[in-house]
A and B are shown apart, each in its own frame.
Chain A
């Protein structure tokens, strides 16, 4: 093949190759050192009992055996699923409601949309602080509001039963804007002819929504559900600020458990095994998302 090239063409091929590898080198190097390499190292570390500062005992699959038998690990997974089950349906319902309302040709849409979106871009630490105050059992705003409507107060973050619901409330508030934007984009892509046709056929607003809009936007709904579930497993910051996993582990989700085992207990080998467990969970969820949203759900 090369023999057919003129010297000028051959020069260009060489230069293209040099330029191509040179231009991609910086990114590739960073990704290699800080993502690929760590993926292998974490597997290696998971086979040791190590505190990274001297102790380095090979234990084979011991960490995984401990992990699979660990009530703490499975407890953290269950709590994460509880968090997801409590937050995701509410987030989907409320954000979809907001998106539908904002898509109904309202005035000042940019302004409203910005308000709903702003919690999402504000830092978790700063907003967690104000929610700590809002959740305060003695003089917090939330108990004052409950008192105002005649409901009994709650101890919110200081009680093993109500701490997780409080965490769900805060996180749903913080992240709702992302789903609003996804749903607004999805709704704007539903062909207006289809909605008009349904109306001409005499379908009510409700029926049009359930039978036309809802199936049409289902890929976005699945996307939101799975992305929010994945982020539940990665969640760390709000747990660290609001509860430090307590009271009595009641808000220790898997992401926080991983951090605790590594940097709290200095059990880096076992925590590496937890990392791999977390990877498997997130990987399965990502595959599910690709499978489900890649398929054109509304034709099925």
Chain B
């Protein structure tokens, strides 16, 4: 009797410890975000205080106003949104078409072509940075949106993932559609694509996030302010205001918020995409 009561007691202690450790780790990981928001609300003289003030007693939105006025952020946001949406839509279109052909259509050289496409994954972007810069300049695309969109208009990851989806669809579906006289494109549009929706969402999120957070490539191929993407602009803002911590925090907050909001809506698909669907939320 006593041993059982003891084990119930220790079980409870274990549960409490478990939550305690999780909460501590969680606090450490999330703290920089809390700190980003608190700093963005402090008056500039307060952020230089030693020790730092953990709570904004004189909260102000002035930093947001000042940071926003400093640069044409609206222009950067629309540039980034345009580039992210365009590369996502184009790469979805090209990869789903290719994936469909690789999965459902018999054509000469299919295996060889697919292996060639897969081998692209062995070439890291860091290796092709310089030649791609040269290619963009040769095409006359330096400092244009083409340079930010077209190199990302195909996705090996997308082709691979969608091909898996299309291959797992029952063959009878395709055969029945052919008997009904449906064309390949119609079958692709009205049956195959809707069935692959989870994969499409995963690919779209990846592509959108990739564009939004891109930094090195836009630094290399753009120059003028009206082609600038948000992260490059934020780094420039840092260079111009290197000790204005409150304004820097405010700019970091408003450039990051769209991504965080997007993530809240799609976190399940995104996380399952990484974990391979093995974990249930």
A258 to chain B: which residues have CB within 8 Å? 126, 129
The residue in chain B whose Cβ has the minimal distance to the Cβ of A262 is B130
The answer for the CA separation of A106 and B105 in the assembled complex, in Å, is 47
B120 near A123 with CB under 8 A, answer no
A184 near B50 with CB under 8 A, answer no
B135 near A113 with CB under 8 A, answer no
Whether A298 sits at the interface, judged by CB under 8 Å, is no
Whether B44 sits at the interface, judged by CB under 8 Å, is no
B26 near A112 with CB under 8 A, answer yes
Counting from the closest, the 5 A-B pairs by CB-CB distance are A20-B107, A185-B275, A38-B131, A41-B131, A30-B154
The answer for the CA separation of A234 and B134 in the assembled complex, in Å, is 20
10 A-B pairs whose Cβ atoms sit less than 8 Å apart in the complex: A20-B106, A24-B101, A26-B98, A27-B117, A28-B154, A30-B154, A34-B128, A36-B120, A52-B133, A118-B30
Known A-B contacts A124-B213, A144-B52; A129 and B271 likewise in contact (beta carbons under 8 Å): no
Chain A 102-157 residues near chain B, CB threshold 8 A: 102, 104, 106, 109-110, 112-119, 121-127, 129-134, 136, 138-141, 144, 147-148
B184 to chain A: which residues have CB within 8 Å? 19, 23
B106 near A139 with CB under 8 A, answer no
The residue in chain A whose Cβ has the minimal distance to the Cβ of B29 is A116
The answer for the CA separation of A35 and B271 in the assembled complex, in Å, is 28
Whether B197 sits at the interface, judged by CB under 8 Å, is no
Whether B181 sits at the interface, judged by CB under 8 Å, is no
B94 near A26 with CB under 8 A, answer yes
A237 near B29 with CB under 8 A, answer no
The answer for the CA separation of A81 and B24 in the assembled complex, in Å, is 30
CB-CB contacts of B187-219 with A at 8 A, as 1s and 0s? 000000000000000000000010011011000
Chain A 7-49 residues near chain B, CB threshold 8 A: 13, 16-17, 19-21, 23-24, 26-31, 33-39, 41-42, 45
Whether A245 sits at the interface, judged by CB under 8 Å, is no
Whether A74 sits at the interface, judged by CB under 8 Å, is no
Whether B170 sits at the interface, judged by CB under 8 Å, is no
Chain B 221-262 residues near chain A, CB threshold 8 A: 231-232, 234-235, 238, 245, 248-249, 251-252, 255-256, 259-260
Whether A176 sits at the interface, judged by CB under 8 Å, is yes
Whether A272 sits at the interface, judged by CB under 8 Å, is yes
The residue in chain B whose Cβ has the minimal distance to the Cβ of A286 is B122
Option from B32, B39, B93, B117 in Cβ contact (under 8 Å) with A31: B117
A38 near B32 with CB under 8 A, answer no
The answer for the CA separation of A176 and B212 in the assembled complex, in Å, is 20
Question: Which residues of B are in contact with A by a Cβ distance under 8 Å?
Answer: 18-19, 21-22, 25-26, 29-30, 32-33, 35-36, 39, 47-52, 93-95, 97-98, 100-102, 105-108, 110, 113, 117, 120, 122-135, 137, 150-151, 153-156, 159, 184, 209, 212-213, 215-216, 220, 231-232, 234-235, 238, 245, 248-249, 251-252, 255-256, 259-260, 263-264, 267-268, 270-271, 274-276, 278-281
Known A-B contacts A30-B151, A114-B267, A255-B126; A123 and B156 likewise in contact (beta carbons under 8 Å): no
Interface SS of chain A:
helix
Known A-B contacts A45-B130, A122-B256; A188 and B279 likewise in contact (beta carbons under 8 Å): yes
B128 near A38 with CB under 8 A, answer yes
A41 near B159 with CB under 8 A, answer no
B26 near A147 with CB under 8 A, answer no
Whether A282 sits at the interface, judged by CB under 8 Å, is yes
B129 near A275 with CB under 8 A, answer yes
A101 near B274 with CB under 8 A, answer no
B132 near A38 with CB under 8 A, answer yes
4 more contacts with CB within 8 A, not counting A27-B98, A38-B132, A272-B131, are A30-B150, A31-B156, A234-B126, A275-B129
B29 near A123 with CB under 8 A, answer no
Known A-B contacts A23-B101, A278-B126; A129 and B234 likewise in contact (beta carbons under 8 Å): yes
The residue in chain A whose Cβ has the minimal distance to the Cβ of B22 is A101
A123 near B35 with CB under 8 A, answer no
A115 to chain B: which residues have CB within 8 Å? 26, 29-30
B124 near A278 with CB under 8 A, answer yes
The residue in chain A whose Cβ has the minimal distance to the Cβ of B153 is A30
Known A-B contacts A20-B110, A133-B249, A255-B126; A184 and B159 likewise in contact (beta carbons under 8 Å): no
Q: How far is the CB of A257 from chain B (nearest CB, A)?
A: 11
Known A-B contacts A16-B107, A31-B154, A255-B126; A123 and B213 likewise in contact (beta carbons under 8 Å): yes
B275 near A16 with CB under 8 A, answer no
The answer for the CA separation of A33 and B128 in the assembled complex, in Å, is 11
Q: How far is the CB of B227 from chain A (nearest CB, A)?
A: 17
Whether A189 sits at the interface, judged by CB under 8 Å, is yes
B32 near A134 with CB under 8 A, answer yes
B94 near A117 with CB under 8 A, answer no
Q: How far is the CB of A256 from chain B (nearest CB, A)?
A: 10
A279 near B235 with CB under 8 A, answer no
A42 near B248 with CB under 8 A, answer no
Known A-B contacts A17-B108, A112-B22; A263 and B220 likewise in contact (beta carbons under 8 Å): yes
Option from A13, A114, A126, A178 in Cβ contact (under 8 Å) with B231: A126
The answer for the CA separation of A241 and B117 in the assembled complex, in Å, is 34
Instruction: Count chain A CB atoms within 10 A of each CB in B35, B94, B100, B238 and give the residue with the most.
Output: B94
A39 near B128 with CB under 8 A, answer yes
B281 near A113 with CB under 8 A, answer yes
Chain A 218-266 residues near chain B, CB threshold 8 A: 230, 233-234, 236-237, 240-241, 255, 258-259, 262-263
